[in-house]
Structure 1
Amino acid sequence: MEKIPIGIWVQDIVNYIVDLSEYHLRLFSDSLNLVIGKTVDALEWTNPFILILIIVILTYIIKRNWKTLILIIFGCLFILNLGYWRESLETVTLVLFSTLVSALIGIPLGILCAHRPFFYSFLRPILDLMQTIPTFVYLIPTLMLFGLGMAPGLFSTIIFSMPATIRLTYLGMSKVPPSLMEVADSFGANRWKRLWTIEFPYAKSSILTGISQCVMLSLSMVVIAALVGAEGLGKPVVQALNTVNIVKGFESGLTIVIIAILLDRILSVSNKKVGELT
């Protein structure tokens, strides 16, 4: 049986895109690297203790939980003591940028899937492919398109994490009771009014859970993104692996774990608080 040249087809498509718009892709990549770099520089320029204080105040506003505040203070001070403060800022910046893009694209797509089930049937195998295909596979085309730097790592992270936002938004919007929609229709609410007053408040918890999952999935891509030049905590992990440096590997890996715990605590707090307000 003759082999289907699907890999060659994908390569031809990527090469065509590169040949057609290489200048614009690299310009976009350089601009994105500049924006992320300037953001990290601004955060690093800020005194670490002031930045920790700002994080603590924001968390305190979300919910007055002293245990969470103490955990954040000790976690941030521990990262600062290990000497991975800038790498942590780079990692958190990458995670926040990827989560923002995933939310801006994933939430509208999830709403569209809930309102148009046939579109979700079409999109579902694509989401399965995005989540199950090995990450190293789509690092190759993103590297060819954007070159080394934050851009290929950012886009690879978005590809991996966005399905969670789409699926959980779809799940929350599709679980809205028909009786609530009938009540809205009886009061003469149009499509946008139903969306903002009925569907969004009901699905808010599921949507926020999707964003929380997106953050955790983005953080899990830190080491993978470092292989294509993305800065952050993945870089010392890769360096430790290449040099068999147990000290650097354990310290940078532990820092990633601490950031994951802190982000999880902050996001879980926001979910609970929003649920109480609803």
Structure 2
Amino acid sequence: MNSLFAIVPHFPVADWVEAATDWLTQTLGGMFDVLQTIGQTLIDGLTSILSIAPPALFIVLIAVLAYFASEKKWGLPVFVLIGFGYVLNQGLWSEMLNTISLILVSSLVSIIIGVPLGILSAKSEVAHAILKPILDFMQTMPAFVYLIPAVAFFGIGVVPGVFASVIFSLPPTVRFTDLGIRQISNELIEAADSFGSSGPQKLFKVELPLAKSTIMAGVNQTTMLALSMVVIGSMIGAPGLGRQVLSSLQRAEVGTGFVSGLGIVVLAIVIDRLTQALARDKKH
């Protein structure tokens, strides 16, 4: 067996990847610089907007949103008041706002890219066959690997963190959009065709509304995956609660790490419950 592998020529895959990365960096360096500037400006602006409201008012507004999103039930609003109050009490408010900005931008970019790709995958078997292995690759690749091209293209900072988060969190939106459209019964599609609906009319008035709950489930998963990249993204300069956890790990500060980690848990629960509640409202 060893002799069999000995006669197989060695393929320098690592060298090929390095060469491709260098070529992309040199050829598209200007585009990466523009994206870096736009991304940094967008995230800084969003963080500034979130910082306009006093923390107490911000917490109350999120609690009110949670109250109406959860069909006027008090469980989620009370948790928002207690959880965000804890974050404010521990002096992590600005870090949480930075984390929210990172999650919002990463999720928004993933949704803008993922929904059209999901529609394309549902409409075309060729596109589905091409996208499926790519999405499998994106979901099985360890998250840390995405930091390498992010740093190579954008350097250190918040934008490479967004880049890595988008790649990591994109697949659920594509898959769930594809699934939601494919699950629509043929009878409804035939009824739309019988009324003379055009392709865009059928898509926006029949298929997407019927698939909305499934698509929202994908959005929920995408948002949670973007949040899971917070700590990993901090390794390449992304700000927020993840940076506090990473700093605590480097200094072996168990207490500080626990406090920051619990802040991420609070934010994760609030985002998860809000997106689920909004999906239920839209479904009904």
Question: Quick check: 1:26–1:147 contact (8 Å CA) kept in 2?
Answer: no
Q: Following TM superposition, by how much is the alpha carbon of 1:207 offset from its aligned partner in structure 2, in angstroms? A: 0.2
Equivalent of residue 48 in structure 2, options 26, 35, 41: 41
Equivalent of residue 283 in structure 2, options 263, 275, 278: 275
Q: How big is each residue's C-alpha offset from its partner over 1:99-148, in whole Å with a ceiling of 9 and x where there is no partner?
A: 11111110011011000012111111111111111122221111011011
Q: Following TM superposition, by how much is the alpha carbon of 1:21 offset from its aligned partner in structure 2, in angstroms? A: 2.9
Corresponding residue number in structure 1 for 2:226: 218
Corresponding residue number in structure 1 for 2:9: 2
Corresponding residue number in structure 2 for 1:172: 180
Corresponding residue number in structure 1 for 2:29: 22
Q: Following TM superposition, by how much is the alpha carbon of 1:20 offset from its aligned partner in structure 2, in angstroms? A: 1.7
Q: Following TM superposition, by how much is the alpha carbon of 1:267 offset from its aligned partner in structure 2, in angstroms? A: 1.1
In the alignment, structure 1 residue 189 sits paired with structure 2 residue 197: yes
Corresponding residue number in structure 1 for 2:160: 152
Q: Distance in 1 between matches of 2:79 and 2:154?
A: 38
Q: How big is each residue's C-alpha offset from its partner over 1:155-183, in whole Å with a ceiling of 9 and x where there is no partner?
A: 10000000010001100001110011111
Q: Distance in 1 between matches of 2:146 and 2:60?
A: 39
- Unaligned 5+ segments in structure 2 are 1-7
Q: Distance in 1 between matches of 2:265 and 2:30?
A: 38
Question: Quick check: 1:99–1:214 contact (8 Å CA) kept in 2?
Answer: yes
In the alignment, structure 1 residue 60 sits paired with structure 2 residue 67: yes
Count matched residues.
276
Q: How does the TM-score come out when normalised to structure 2?
A: 0.94
Secondary structure of 1:128's counterpart equals: helix
Give the residue type in structure 1 aligned to 2:61. Answer: I
Q: How big is each residue's C-alpha offset from its partner over 1:77-98, in whole Å with a ceiling of 9 and x where there is no partner?
A: 1111111111111111111111
Indicate the larger mover: 163-172 or 185-194: 185-194
Q: Following TM superposition, by how much is the alpha carbon of 1:197 offset from its aligned partner in structure 2, in angstroms? A: 2.0
Q: Following TM superposition, by how much is the alpha carbon of 1:55 offset from its aligned partner in structure 2, in angstroms? A: 1.4
Give the residue type in structure 2 aligned to 1:31. Answer: I
In the alignment, structure 1 residue 51 sits paired with structure 2 residue 58: yes
Q: How does the TM-score come out when normalised to structure 1?
A: 0.96
Q: Following TM superposition, by how much is the alpha carbon of 1:56 offset from its aligned partner in structure 2, in angstroms? A: 2.1
Corresponding residue number in structure 1 for 2:272: 264
Q: Distance in 1 between matches of 2:28 and 2:131?
A: 27
| Percent of matched pairs sharing the same residue | 38
Q: CA RMSD in A?
A: 1.2
Secondary structure of 2:237's counterpart equals: coil
Equivalent of residue 108 in structure 2, options 100, 104, 109: 100
Q: Following TM superposition, by how much is the alpha carbon of 1:72 offset from its aligned partner in structure 2, in angstroms? A: 1.0
Q: Distance in 2 between matches of 1:275 and 1:48?
A: 32
Cα distance change on mapping 1:27 and 1:202 into 2, 3 Å: closer
Q: How big is each residue's C-alpha offset from its partner over 1:176-227, in whole Å with a ceiling of 9 and x where there is no partner?
A: 1001111111111111111122211211110000000001101100011001
Indicate the larger mover: 60-69 or 165-174: 60-69
Corresponding residue number in structure 2 for 1:240: 248
Q: Distance in 1 between matches of 2:281 and 2:262?
A: 29
In the alignment, structure 1 residue 115 sits paired with structure 2 residue 123: yes
Secondary structure of 1:189's counterpart equals: coil
Give the residue type in structure 1 aligned to 2:206. Answer: I
Indicate the larger mover: 231-240 or 51-60: 51-60
